[in-house]
Amino acid sequence: MKLAVVGATGLVGSEILEVLAEHNFPFDELLLVASERSAGKKIAFKDKEYTVIGLAQAVSEKPDIAIFSAGGDTSKEWAPKFAEAGTIVVDNSSAWRMDPTKKLVVPEINAKSLKIDDRIIANPNCSTIQMVLALTKLRDRYGIKRVVVSTYQSVTGSGLKAVNQLQDERAGKEGEKAYPHKIDLNVLPHIDVFQDNGYTKEEMKMINETKKIFEDPSIQVTATTVRIPVMGGHSEAVNVEFKEDFDLEEVKELLAATPGVVVEDDVANNVYPMPMNAHKKDEVFVGRLRRDESQPNTLNMWIVADNLRKGAATNAVQIAEYLVKHSLV
């Protein structure tokens, strides 16, 4: 097993390496890959030092699996080259998510759809992953008519430049800006670029990816995505209208039985999901479960996950693990 991590020097790339170590992912050879300007850098992994190589060299090495976290433009250019060389690419960018010829995979939901000839596999958007995972068994039981989601997303979702901006602002220093406005002590209802319909690209990702993952274009989804001055972890307020009525205790049981989901819902003792408690954890945490008393068959829920983990690195590694376990590589 020859494994490549493309974008190994970035925030998500570093997290992928941590998850690979924690999960004891089986490989015989590891290639750490980045842009040509990062080639030659040294990265320590499992008590061994690796030298970062460029993309062209990595393609020539013909890895069995390449986990990409290097941005959409890089994925568009290089993922097909890896695939042509016989590599299975698991891609973290938005480049392939809505391509009808590519699978969009959350392993607990739809990994069974993967086939031996799937050469490029898309990892969904971080906010989408945690929401659909929390909804999957509820959808199976009650059917979903409509979802209204508002997100509260960490600066780590924008990369290292955004983390540095927040830290600089808190320290009262000038520095490079990732956002058009101050982020510390502020809230920005603006993630990714605005589209012609007034929604941001991030909001449209949540809408379109949810429909694709569930293979159900009839689900109505609307989203407002918001950046908040939190260092790690995305939170979501989700209002879901089911096709059938539900029992709240059964909802909790279904969530607790969902692989990768942890229920934290004890408001009498101030227990509910918070991003600081989700840090460095692979699970999706769900709480504040209550009926929407303004209309029938509707549930309010609060969903939190580490966006660099299940929202990116963990999900990608789990896809790779599925490929290995089921002899698809």
* Boundaries of every domain in the chain: 2-123+312-326, 127-154+187-305
β-strand partners of 200: 194
pLDDT at residue 303, rounded to an integer: 98
2-123+312-326 and 127-154+187-305 share one CATH topology? no
CA 136 – CA 238 distance, rounded (Å): 14
Give per-residue pLDDT as tens, 254-311.
999 999 999 999 999 999 999 999 999 999 999 999 999 999 999 999 999 999 999 9
| Three-state secondary-structure class, residue 66 | strand
User: Which residues are CB-neighbours of 84 under 8 A, at least 6 positions away?
Assistant: none
CA distance linking residue 309 with residue 275, whole number of Å: 12
Euclidean distance between CA atoms 228 and 179, whole angstroms: 11
Which of 23, 126, 190, 279 is flagged as catalytic? 126
- 38 annotated as a binding-site residue: yes
- Condensed to tens digits (0 to 9), the pLDDT of residues 9-54 reads 999 999 999 999 999 999 999 999 998 888 999 999 998 999 999 9
Q: Is 12 annotated as a binding residue?
A: yes
Are the C-beta atoms of 165 and 158 separated by less than 8 Å? no
Using a CB cutoff of 8 Å and minimum separation of 24, what contacts does 58-63 make? 58/4, 58/6, 58/31, 58/33, 58/82, 59/85, 59/87, 60/85, 61/2, 61/4, 61/31, 62/2, 62/86, 62/87, 63/2, 63/3, 63/4, 63/29, 63/31, 63/87
* Residue 307, annotated as binding a ligand: yes
In 3-state terms, the chain is what percent helix, strand and coil (to 5)?
Answer: 35, 25, 40
Residue 297 in marked binding region: no
Span 190-239, pLDDT tens digits: 999 999 999 999 999 999 999 999 999 999 999 999 999 999 999 999 99
Q: Indicate the burial class of 220 (C-beta count within 10 angstroms; 0-12, 13-18, 19 or more).
A: middle
CA 248 to chain centre: 28
* Architecture of the structural domain at 127-154+187-305: 2-Layer Sandwich (3.30)
Enumerate the H helices of 64-200 as residue ranges.
72-84, 107-110, 126-142, 160-171
Q: Which two tokens stand for residue 283?
A: 């699970």
The SS3 assignment for 316 reads helix
Contacts of 56 (CB under 8 A, 6+ apart): none
Q: Is 60 annotated as a binding residue?
A: no
Which of 74, 87, 61, 59 minimizes the C-alpha distance to 13? 74
pLDDT at residue 37 in the model: 87
Each residue's pLDDT tens digit, 75-132: 999 999 999 999 999 999 999 999 999 999 999 999 999 999 999 999 999 999 999 9
188 is in an annotated binding site: no
Q: Binding residue per annotation — 139? A: no
Asked whether residue 164 carries a pLDDT value surpassing 90, the answer given is yes
- Residue 227 assigned to a binding site: yes
pLDDT at 36: 86
User: 23, 181, 190, 234: which one is catalytic?
Assistant: 234
Q: Which CATH code is given to the segment(s) 2-123+312-326?
A: 3.40.50.720
Known active-site residue 126: yes
Q: Residues 59, 31, 64, CA angle at the centre, nearest 5°?
A: 60
